[in-house]
Each structure stands twice: as structure tokens, then as C-alpha cells.
Structure 1
Amino acid sequence: MPFGILEPEASSQCPGTVVITDHSNLHDSTTTEGSVPVTSGLKKDASGVVVLAPQPSDSPGDPLNWTATKKNLFTVAYTWICGAVGALGPLLIAAYRPLSQQWGVEIGQFATGAQGSLLCGFGVGAVLFNAVAAKMGKRPVYLFTNAMLMIACFWGAASRSFASFVASRAVAGLCMGPMTALVPASVGDVWFVHERGLRTSLYALAFLSGNHLASPIAGTIIEHGSWRICMNAMGGAFGVSTLLVFFLMPETTFERIHEGMEAKSTSAHLETSEEHEIRQGQSYARQLLPYQGYRGRTAFSKALVGPFFALANPTVVWAAVLFMTNLGFVVGLGATQSLIFGAPPYNFSITQVGLVNLSAFVAALLGTAASKPLLDGIAQRLSKSNHGIFEPEFRLIPMVFTLLFTTAGYFVWGQSISQGLPWAVPVVVGLGFVTFGTQIGIATIFTYVVDCHQQDAAPALGLITLCQAMFSFGLTFYINEWVSQSGPRDCFFAIGSHGRLDFSHAPVVSPLRYEIICGGRCC
């Protein structure tokens, strides 16, 4: 295999290792069975070269068999929803200093209450609603949590005490969790392996764009109006999300049984063959039902604690460490913007503090544009050189860009702010580099986990989300004090150094680590 990736010693096929390129001219033991290529009889894309993985069933109810229009509308829906979820967290960041004074609390206490409570609920919700989805399917979870997000935002806007506002944020965080954990799993339900990189990157773009666009928009509204207007607007956005889920996001959980190289299917929603036939001929109106009758085989208690067993898997542990530090420190960087740019030498207004994040939005767009050639393109080229066999580890090459850009970005941010350089240096160069690298990193991490563990993607991503939320929650307690006491240079130099630590544990570094990760995802 390329880059010294070792063949697994296990007798069974390593999960995630699939044939995605038809090399009919190859007749060695790795690609043929006798004189017949293993790709013969497999379903391929329109070009006839790319082998579809996973192999779709013959059922029209299989999400892999949805029309391109239906899949693209599904993508539009989750992109909007993830953008709204990404915006809710940092919505009021630009006004932390004046709002803390309005509520009569210290800025650190306000950040912990407004952001910390949301992050704490966020992590718990990722695990809790993953268990609910395992029993009832993803659609009812999406519907319920989006409706509750709408209610929580209107509640927060109407709050007359800091305690009530914090409670509304905790409920909102609880319902944000499944958007991070379940959406990438849904991408794996709907899209084939060679298509997932771009769609996962769109998910990451939506999340980060909402995160970075919220402050510029909200900052202007708060300065010239009220923060309550922002919260009511978010309530309206989640009202739209609820409608998008209802009309454009049917249930995606579907169970396939593979015998040899031929795919047979059963619906995880149904139990009898008669019901299965109804499922196959299901009308659009029937798909709009909030609950499709899914009854998961796993006990709820087992589904609830199941994600924690993923800690024994090196793939998931590595992904959790990388995701929680990369996204966690981005959250911490945002939480300090009001402190840094609202004080000398910058003395930015609330609106100006919010506009800082426009640089991050542009960088996220560039990261998304780069993700298809980096994620899907590199994986396909490496698969061709590997006799048409795809390994999930091929997804890890773009992590080199994450290492380089995020490390450089944090160093530039800390150094330029400590020296009081013009705002364009930390904002355009520093924040831009950090966001570009983080965008590629998030897409890479989630695509890799889904490729390795298609069937267990939701619980694995739930655990990863929980780790990230708890890390970010802890960071809100001290990040502002850290900057105030140690200075931005020492603080962000320390944060920038985390990239080297993450990368040194990445499975892309050496053949030995490839063997460890491959062993971690083998049966």
C-alpha cells in the first residue's frame, strides 16, 4: 500500500477498506478472484470506472438511491441548519463586555454563563440524542431539536434575569448537540465514499460560517438596536430549519446486508416483508411523517453508554483529541475578541469587533474550495495507485495543511496583537490562516471517522462532540484571564504549539501508526 500502510493481520476485511476504482486489467490476488476481477458485477457510477461504496441495494427506499435533486435538497437543508447552529454559540461575543456590565457580572462570569452553559448542554445533547436516534431514527431527533432551538431562542430573548438567560442557553446547547454528531453520519447514509469529502466540507463550512458571520451581523444589530433582536432573529432562523427538516430531510437510517459482493437490503425501520414493500413504494407524503416507525434493536441504555466504549478505539481517540483542540481553541479565540479589540490600542466598537470575523468567513470559503481536491481528489488518486482499493487513511494527507496553517496563524495572531500591529495583520493573516486550516481539519476528521466506522459513525461522532464541548466549556473559565495575565503572545503561542502535538500523534506520520489505526478499526 502507499506510504507504507501495512496490511491488517486480521483475517476479516478491515472496515472502511473498499474497492472504488475498476481496474479490469489487473489480475493479481488483491484484485481478482481467479481470472475474474472482483469489480465485475458491482454497481458503478455513470463513468463506469468508480465503484460505488457502499454498494447500494435495489430498494428505492435506500438513501443511496435517492435522485440527485433529493440528495442536493437534503444537503441544502442540513447546510442551513448547521449554519444556524454555528451562529447561535458566538452570537453575542462581540458584546460580551457591555452585556456583562448590563447584567452586573464580571466578563469571565458572563462568558461562562452565556457560552459555558451552552457548551455543556451541547456535549450532553450529542450523546443523549444519539441514543434516541439509535432507537427512533434521525428524523424525529432533527425535528424535535430544531423546534426546541426555536423555543430556546425566543425564551432567551424574553429573559429578564441572567439566570433565566443562562437556562435558555443550556437548553439550546442540549438541542445543538445532534446537529454536530448526527449530520456527518447522515452524510454517510446518503453519499458514496468518493462523494463524502465535499459534502462533509460543506457541513464544516456551514458550521464555521455561522460561527464567524454571527458576530459581524449581531454586533451591528446590538450596537444600533438590541441583543434581544438577535435572539429573536435566531428563533426565526430555527423556525425555518424546522420547516426544512420537515420537507427536505426524510429518514436516512437504512440497513444493508451484504453477502459476498452483492448487496441485499432490509429497512431498519420495518419488521415484516409487507411493511418493507410499503417502505419501497413509499410516497412523498408518507416520508413527511415525523416518525417512520423505526425500532432500533439496541437497548436505549446500551445506546446511551455505547459511545464511551469508543474510547478503546485509537481512531476515535485521535479524532477526538484533534477535533476538541482545533475547534476548541477557535472558540476560545473568539471568546477573547471583545477583550482584545475593545481595549487599546484598537478600541473597536461592538460592530468593529464583530467585523473581525469576516476574515474567517472568507478563509472558510477558501478551505471548502480546497477540500474537494484535497479530500476526494487525493483519496481517489491514491486508490488508483493501490489497485483501485480505497483506505480511509488516504483521507489524512490534508492534515499537513491543518498543521501548517493553524500553527502559523496562532503565532501571527499572538505576536501581532502583543506588539499592537495594524489590525489587518492579526485579523487577515492570523485569523485567516487559523480558519483555513481548521476548515480542512474538521472535514478531514469527520470524513475519516465516517469512512472507518460507517455503521457506528453516530455514536463515535457523539463522543467526539462531547469531548470538544467539555474542552471548550473548560476553556471559557480561564481563557480571558489567561490573555489578561500572560498576554496574548504567550497565550496564543502556547495554543499554536498544540498543532505539533496533535500531528505527532496522527496516524499519517509513520507506517507504525498506520498499523495501530488500522488495527483499531479492524473487526
Structure 2
Amino acid sequence: MSQSSASTAVEDGHSHDDGPEYPPGTVMLHSKLKTEKENKLTLVPTPTDDPRDPLAWPMWRKCLNFGLLSATTMALFTGLSIQHIFWAPMRKDLNVTYDDLTRARAAQLGSEAIACVIFIPFAKKYGRRPVYIASTFTFTWASWWSAYMKTVPELFLSNIFKGIAAAVNETAVQMSVRDMFFVNQRGSANAVYLAALKFGTSLSPIAAGAQAAKTGWRSSYVTLSAVMTVVTLLFAATFEETKFIPRAQGNAAEKSRRGGARLQTGDGVDSTRGETVAPPPERVRWPRDMSLQFLTTTDESIWRTMWNPIHVWWMPHILAASFIYGSSLALIIILSSMKSIIFPAPPYSFNPGQLGLLQLAPFVGSCLGIFYGGYLVDRLIVWLARRNQGLYEPEMRLYMMPLPAMVMAGGLAMFGITAGRGMHWIYPCIGSAMTSFGFGALGDMVLTCVIDAYPNMVSLAFVAIAFFRNTLSMIGTFGLGPWRGSMSVESMFIIVAVASLVINLFALPLVIWGKKARTVTAARYRRLAT
């Protein structure tokens, strides 16, 4: 196939020839359009001429919409992350043990695993907006409940409902990233999302801990709930739907409802993107013509969409991303939980305010890691594609993985050895920052690689990834009590560090054989993406 024909690749990232040279995910990122010496960056996916298409939105409108999504994400993950700072006072107020608190956190993770399987198909069929709104309202209600809970069952139930709401948000976000951004922008978009997530998990707890030290842990939950209420109302009023149905498909859907042919759609309902399907509509005027419809319905089967993740989890890119991201997050959760057990006890004797300040180090590390895995990798793939005759391969995002993999393993070992020996708190903080740098970079790289490799199957892929990830995290949290009782903190984290390094080696087969794997799975991908 010539370069000129390759540059007309369709949205799902494979050429019209569908040969082994252009499997799903391989796209022409550079094409020689005017002269043999002039390279132009090709927009992949190709936007339509319809101004309702989120890909065709001006950048300020994309940033505004994604900013709302990031703000909501930050608030949600603040609610998921602050509880472990309050464990010491909560033990007294609720008459619970550390084992009860870790089990409640495990229940939250278990509900996340199940909820993404059940509710994400609704985001695919009815649009992202109604699912986002329902999840934020649910989380706000559960946050108010947490502020006034008095019993152990309430602790478990409030955590379960927060887990359900968060699972929907974090999985659907990847669908919106795919809806709004081009291939060379997705790493940076995911970096913004992960930065918001880390702000919620690392920086917000500093303020929550300081407030709890002065006025009690319940007041921190009241503040969170009030903020969540405002964010939820703002989100419901202004967040625009990112699912796009081209006009030709919208007409087909209407015919289908009247007894015509059945409309089959992919993840972004964009199998016709880049084709001339109808005259462009009148110019959209913002905010008058904002996409605030509550439902954007297409003809997928809910039951089929719930079942299909079983058929995708074993595909090499999805399996590797699930294992790398899920296992790494489980190790981060173990580190976070151990902070809440080690530092309130001698020789540190930290109060909730001081525990909150410990989150500053991982926040700094995460920001550096997200910049590395997002912006720098986005720049790298453009350069690599230019050197590869214009062709971009999703595995190119993994070329910079060795550094964060080694830094993360070193950080885990440093945290465990220094905290286990009761050394000055700065040393565990450095280890925590190194760990977060590694996780931030690795997470951005592997998740964006999956989006690029199977772009029309994002919802199915991320349901599988989220289920696998939350299941591993739940197992790690449940096993934390017996594990820490059977060996020293130093021994625990040496094992964890070695495990982290071994886990990240699973990216190596993708780098070597990833394109071949995409070629082998191309037929299954196209079948599941329709």
C-alpha cells in the first residue's frame, strides 16, 4: 500500500486493505501531501464536517468539557482517598479495628469491579452524560452518608456505593478521551485525567487531614460533601455529551425503530467518521447549542455489551495493561494503607494533619510521572512515526517504560526499608514520591496504548481492565492484615519491589510482538467493535 492510500485509513486505525502491515491501531500519522519534502501531521481519527462532532470542536471547548470531567474526577477520588487518613480517630468513634477498615476498603474495590461490568454498557448505549450524572449524584449522597455514619454496616455500605460511582466515572473517562482527542493528543489528555486523579488522592488529603486534626474527621466529610454537591450540579448543567452519532447513522437508527435495518455501532459510533454522509448542518453557536441532551441512544444490545468484555480480556494488549496497571495500583494501595498503620504509631506518632502532609510527596512524584508518560511520550510517538515512514504503532508508547519501572521498584523498596526501620520520615516520603512517579508514567503509557490499539473497543477493553484492576486491589487489601502479621515491613516491601519489576516486564512481549498480536486479533476486534 502506498503512503497516500495509507493516509486515508479509517477511524478504527486499520487500512482499507486490512493487511498485516496495517492491523488495528497502525495509522499514518505523517503523510506527504504537497511535496516529497513536506510532512504534515494527519489527524487520526479523521473528524467529520459536522460541528456537533466532538473531534471537530475547537480546543477551548474540548478543554472546558474535559476540565469539568477532571474536576469531577478529582472530587470523586478525594472521597475515595481521605478515609485512610482518619483511620485512627475512626477506630475510636465507630469502635472498629484496622481489619474492619481494610475490609471496608476492600469492599469498595470489589464494588468498583462489579459496577463497571454492569453500568458501563449503559454509557455505550445511552451516552456518557447520563451515566456520569448518575454516578456523581450517587457519590455525593454516599459522601453525606459517610459524614454521619455511626455503625460498621454503614461504613461498609457507604464505601460500596462510593465504589460503584467511582467505577463508572473512571472507565467512562477513557471513552470520552477517545471521543474528543486525536491519537497524538490522547497521552496528554490522559495525563490531565491522571493528574486530577492524583490531586484527589494525594493533595486533597492534606487539607482534609488538617481540618480533621482541628475539627474532627466528620467535618472533613461534610466539606467534601458540600463541594461534591456544587460540582455535581455544575456538571449536570454544563457537561456536554461526547458520544457522537453522524447524521447518516442517526437516520438509520430512526429507520431501525420503524422496522428497518438494524444499526450496529462501535464504541464511538464513528464508523462513518471521515466519510461524506450529509451536507454539514448550520454553524453551532455555543452555549446556545450545547450538547446537553440526557440520552444519546444507539442500537447496541445491553446484554451483549455486558458479556463481550469476557471475549476481550485475553487479547494481548488488554491482558498486559490489566496486569501491569492493576497490579501496580494494588501495590500503591498497599503502600497507602501501610502509611495509615505505620505513621500514627511510634516512633512517628503522626496525627491526621501530618498524615495528610505525607501525601505531598506522591503528588509531586505523580505530576512528574504523568508529564513523562503523557506529554513527553506524545512528542516521542510523533518523532518515531516520522522515522517510520509516517506510520504510528501503539507499542511505540511503551519504549520509555524501563525508567519508570525501575524507579517504581526502587521507591517501593526504599519506603519499606526506611519506614520499617523507623528512619526519618523524609526517606519514606522520597520512596513514596519515586513510586508515584513510576506509577503515573506507567499508567498513562499502558492505558493510552490500549486506546490506540483498539480504538473502537474502548468501553469493552476498559471494563475488562477495571474489573481486573479492582479485583487485584481487593485481594491485596484483604490480604494485607495477615501479610503484615507474618513478616516485617522491610521484608514485605522488598517482595513488593521485586514483584513490581517483574510485573512491568510483561510490557516487553508487547513491544516485540505487539503488532503481530494485533494482526492475529484483527478479525475478533472488528467483530466485537460492531
**TM-score range, shorter-chain basis?**
0.7 to 0.9
Q: CA deviation at 1:515?
A: 2.8
- The C-alpha deviation readout for 1:171-221, integer Å capped at 9, x for no partner, is 111111121111022011101111111110111111122111233222222
Partner of 1:44: none
Which deviates more, 145-154 or 11-20? 11-20
The one-letter amino acid of 2:26's match is T
Other-structure match for 1:397: 399
Match of residue 239 from structure 2: 249
Residue 352 of structure 1 is matched in structure 2 by 354
- Tell me the secondary structure at the aligned position of residue 312 of structure 1: coil
**Given the alignment of the two structures, is residue 23 of structure 1 paired with residue 32 of structure 2, yes or no?**
yes
1:306 corresponds to which of 293, 305, 308: 308
Secondary structure (helix, strand or coil) at the match of 1:455 reads helix
Cα distance, 1:287 vs structure 2: 3.6
Aligned to 1:320: 322
Instruction: Sort the Cα spacing of 1:270 and 1:60 in 2 relative to 1 into closer, same or farther, 3 A.
Output: farther
Query: Per-residue deviation at 1:356?
Result: 0.8
**1:335 corresponds to which letter in structure 2?**
S
Distance of 1:320 and 1:432 partners within structure 2: 23
1:223-282 CA distance string (max 9 Å, x none)? 2112222222222232233234334421111256xxxxxxx9645996369xx9898766
| 8 Å contact kept, 2:187–2:374 | yes
Hey, what's the Cα distance between the residues in 1 that align with 2:282 and 2:451? Answer: 26
CA offsets 1:274-312 (integer angstroms, 9 cap, x no match): xx98987666455454414x2222211111122221123
Q: Does 1:14 align with 2:30?
A: no
TM-score of the aligned structures, taking structure 1 as reference length: 0.86
Please tell me the residue identity of whatever aligns with 1:445. V
Deviating more after overlay: 483-492 vs 325-334: 483-492
CA-atom RMSD in angstroms: 2.8
Residue 475 (str. 1) matches residue 484 (str. 2)? no
Q: 1:452 to 1:509 in 2, by over 3 A?
A: closer
Amino acid at match of 1:151: W
Question: What amino acid maps onto 2:432 in structure 1?
Answer: L
Percent identical: 23
Q: Is the 8 A contact 2:85 2:209 kept in 1?
A: yes
**Counterpart for residue 59 of structure 1:** 50
- Counterparts in 2 of 1:504 and 1:371: CA distance versus 1, 3 Å: closer
The aligned residue for residue 49 of structure 1 is 40
In structure 1, the residue matched to 2:146 is 156
Superposed, which structure 2 residues align to 1:320-399 within 5 Å? 320-399=322-401
1:291 to 289, 294, 303: 294
Conservation of the 8 A alpha-carbon contact between 2:148 and 2:218: yes
Q: Is the 8 A contact 1:21 1:383 kept in 2?
A: yes
Q: In the alignment, residue 163 of structure 1 is paired with which amino acid? A: P
Displacement after TM superposition at 1:133 (Å): 1.0
Distance 2:32 2:284 in 1: 37
Size of the alignment, in residue pairs?
A: 488
Distance 1:175 1:372, change over 3 A: closer
The 5-angstrom pairing of residues 37-186 of structure 1 reads 49-113=40-104, 115-186=105-176
Q: Distance in 2 between matches of 1:197 and 1:508?
A: 21
Please say if residues 397 and 449 of structure 2, whose CA atoms lie closer than 8 Å, have aligned partners that are also in contact.
yes
Which residue, out of 165, 179, 188, partners 1:189?
Answer: 179
Indicate if the aligned counterparts of 2:374 and 2:445 stay in contact, CA closer than 8 A: no
1:4 corresponding residue in structure 2: none
Distance between the aligned counterparts of 2:332 and 2:103, measured in 1? 16
Three-state SS of the structure 1 residue aligned to 2:455 is coil
Contact 1:91–1:215 at 8 Å: present in 2 too?
Answer: yes
> Residue 121 of structure 1 aligns to which amino acid in structure 2?
S
Native 8 Å contact 2:326 2:468 kept in 1: yes
Contact 1:367 1:436 in 2 (8 A): yes
Residue 49 of structure 2 aligns to a residue whose secondary structure is: coil
Most deviating of 283-292 and 397-406: 283-292
Instruction: Give the partner amino acid of 1:14.
Output: P
CA distance in 1, matches of 2:470, 2:116: 9
Q: Deviations over 1:77-125 (max 9, x none)?
A: 1111111122112212122133123222221112212x12221222222
Supply the distance in 2 between the matched residues of 1:321 and 1:51 (Cα, whole angstroms).
Answer: 32
Q: Which amino acid aligns with 1:291?
A: F
Structure 2 SS opposite 1:49: strand
1:237 aligns with 2:227: yes
Structure 1 unaligned spans of 5+: 1-6, 28-36, 38-46, 257-263
